[in-house]
Structure 1
Amino acid sequence: MTGPRRIVCLTEEPTETLYLLGEQDRIVGISGFTVRPAEARRDKPKVSAFTSAKVDKILALKPDLAIGFSDIQADIAQALIKAGVEVWIANHRSVEGIIDYIRRLGGLVGVASKAEALASSLQRRIDGAREESSGYAVRPKVYFEEWDEPLITGIRWVTEVIGIAGGDDIFPEHAQASLAKDRILATGAPVIERAPDIILGSWCGKRFRPELVAARPGWDAIPAVRDGELHEIKSPMILQPGPAALTDGLDAVQFIIREWVQRQG
């Protein structure tokens, strides 16, 4: 075995990726929010959340690498670096970035060829979805809601997945904002104005409640609400910038949009 042998994964996407690469034996600790794959949650010690971690517990595992994601985990990274742990904090935000992340992670652990095979298979899946949707006579306007209080929308890779699947995100301008605080809608008025045909809900850590969305003042005028096109996509499938977003996440979005297109005749 070459590369790091004892890896702590501070978020889900490195865990899922390493399992897909067959390198799960390197993992000695995971995020408590990990649900994919199920065996990781069952077999690996949980040592971190999104913004906090059990540093002493991590150090006791004697990791030679910790992998995290984004500025949200800067404090965890700092604590581990001060304790002498090598840390990689990725910050990819796009579909292309996810594919590149898989290649980089594979190279880091010495399995570049396996990572290339995985990345290529995901790219073929994306290309196939894009080819299918290119034949649609009409594209639905889609509102994706990441959180409800306050309203948060516009994660870049989700916007891109919607586009690949044949829809148009109604807030494409938010896709360039990496921080959630920069993607908050002050009120629901812009959603009403942009009149989405489909509403996709993925409330991180809690169940999407379409009946509550439909009951918001003025939202009964939205085509998606009028036509009952409110759909949940489970957050582990779409809110992590890892393989799941390009497999189960893309499949779920593609199915919803395909069904909508077919109903348009």
Structure 2
Amino acid sequence: MKKRILLSLIVVLIMSACSPVVQPTAVQPVEQPSITPKPGETATMAPTAEMVMSDEEEISFVDDLDRDVVIKLPINRIVVLAPSLTETLFAIGAGELEVGRTEYCDYPEEVVNLPTIGGFSANTISVEAIIALEPDLVIGGSIHQAEVVDSLEKVGIPVFVSEPEDVKETLESIELIGKITGHTEQADDVVGQMRARMDEIAEFVTAIPEEERPTVFYEVWHEPLMSASNSAFVGELIGMAGGVNIFGELEEEYPTISAEQLIELDPQFIIGPSSHGDQMTAEVIGSREGWKNLTAVKNEAIYIVDGNIVSRSSPRIVDALNFFVDTLHPEFKK
């Protein structure tokens, strides 16, 4: 079982990143073309273990709650409990199977017409609303939804949890969902496009000497001052994009740090999510005590990234990777 311990504040922040936000005028905004397929286009989670297909049209595997799962096929009605799962279904052309979503599932646009079953945390999800939708499969998005999983199992509704912790597991999750929904070819196409883009970026980054890679401070929150280590999705993406996450080696996924630590490390870039966009301006950052002399502030290298694409384990993580490499290495686009 995964050993992810998230502070309640971080859960709130991530959920904020999953909801629509009004962004302030950003310092040096970067427009990103999406390379993930549009809904309807074609382009092993494991969750944790080997997947087995049987002659009886079943798929068996171990999910992220360490449960032995058997899914009978075909699947026609799916309720999802995380925005990343909605994005994955639509990206692989299986969006028509989704009949219920969380209130945070807002991409692609047409999904907002589907009924909601509550929020993301277990205590905000209505089991009764899920049952009323008569799904033949529910896909959970967090190990902290175990209580909901237990309730659904008791009434005979098939359910499993997919909570990828890194890019590799995200690709495996997309492939698994493709097999379960009968969209194997489309899922393979999506994953293939993602791998091709990541390989292109990796080839570019490999040629950059370690000592020439720019340093980055990723600000999750300002009071208390919080960042992300390399064990967080965003930390991994910064490294893949040829950046050096200045707090990457800390043990906690989202560590609390001090202004003194930050000032001493003097990052070349400061980046934050759109959910925190009101703080990501040169005026606000520069007004903090001791921050005006930071290299990133003096060079106005302060950027806002879409909080959804860096926090959701969906095909759009490659769009987030695009953002980071184009921001840190503008020459890559030339």
Q: Above 0.5 in TM-score? A: yes
Comparing 163-172 and 108-117, the one that deviates more: 108-117
Farther off after superposition, 60-69 or 108-117: 108-117
Name the SS for the 1:173 alignment partner.
Answer: coil
Question: In the alignment, does 2:329 pair up with 1:258?
Answer: yes
Q: Distance in 2 between matches of 1:166 and 1:82?
A: 48
- Runs of 4+ residues deviating >6 angstroms: none
- Of 122, 125, 148 in structure 1, the residue corresponding to residue 222 of structure 2 is 148
Q: Is the 8 A contact 1:145 1:152 kept in 2?
A: yes
Cα distance between partner residues in 2 of 1:31 and 1:251: 27
Hey, what does 1:172 align to over in structure 2? 248
* Alignment pair present for 1:19 and 2:90: yes
In the TM superposition, 1:121-140 aligns within 5 A as 121-136=193-208, 138-140=212-214
Equivalent of residue 47 in structure 1, options 101, 117, 120: 117
CA–CA distance in structure 2, aligned partners of residues 59 and 223 of structure 1: 55
SS in 2 for 1:220: coil
Letter in 1 for 2:115: P
Q: What's 1:62 paired with?
A: 134
Task: Pick which of 110-119 and 87-96 moved more.
Answer: 110-119
Displacement of 1:84 after TM fit?
2.9
The residue aligned with 1:161 is 237
Question: What one-letter code is carried by the residue in structure 2 that aligns with 1:9?
Answer: V
Q: What secondary structure is seen at the aligned counterpart in 2 of 1:252?
A: helix
Query: Is the Cα contact below 8 Å between 2:215 and 2:244 reproduced in 1?
Result: yes
The residue type paired with residue 172 of structure 1 is G
Q: Displacement, 1:10?
A: 0.8
Number of corresponding residues: 254
What TM-score does the superposition give when structure 2 sets the normalisation length? 0.69
Cα distance, 1:148 vs structure 2: 3.0
1:129 Cα deviation (Å)? 1.2
Deviation (angstroms), 1:131: 1.5
Question: Cα deviations across residues 5-30 of structure 1 (Å, max 9, x unaligned)?
Answer: 11111111111111111111110011
Task: State the 1:232 CA deviation.
Answer: 0.5
1:219 corresponds to:
291
Query: Over residues 159-193 of structure 1, what are the superposed CA-to-partner deviations in whole Å (9 max), with x where a residue is unaligned?
Result: 2211221111112224x65xxxx523143332222
Q: Which has the higher contact order (CA 8 A, sep 6+)?
A: 2
**Cα distance, 1:127 vs structure 2:** 0.6
Aligned-partner SS, 1:47 = coil
In the alignment, is the contact (CA less than 8 A) between 2:326 and 2:332 conserved in 1? Answer: no
More helix by share: 1
2:160 maps to 1:85: no
Choose from 179, 182, 196 the match for 1:107: 179
Q: Is the 8 A contact 1:142 1:169 kept in 2?
A: yes
When residues 85 and 147 of structure 1 are mapped into structure 2, their CA distance, relative to the original with a 3 A threshold, is farther
Of residues 245, 257, 279, the one that matches 1:209 is 279
Q: CA deviation at 1:206?
A: 5.0
* Alpha-carbon distance change, 216 to 84 in structure 1, aligned in 2, over 3 angstroms: farther
Aligned partners of 1:8, 1:68: CA distance in 2, in Å? Answer: 9
In the alignment, is the contact (CA less than 8 A) between 2:166 and 2:233 conserved in 1?
A: yes
**Identity across the alignment (%):** 27
1: CA distance, partners of 2:176 / 2:328: 32
**Structure 2 residue corresponding to 1:199, chosen from 267, 270, 273:** 270
1:35-92 deviations in whole A, cap 9, x for unaligned?
2211112x21122312121222111101111112223323333333333322211121
CA-to-partner distance for each residue in 1:120-147, whole Å, 9 max, x for gaps?
1100010111112233462111111233
> Structure 1 residues 195, 72: closer, same or farther in 2, change over 3 A?
farther
Q: 1:81 to 1:187 in 2, by over 3 A?
A: farther
Unaligned runs of 5+ in 2: 1-56, 58-72
The answer to whether 1:35 aligns with 2:109 is no
Unmatched tracts of structure 1, length 5 or more? none
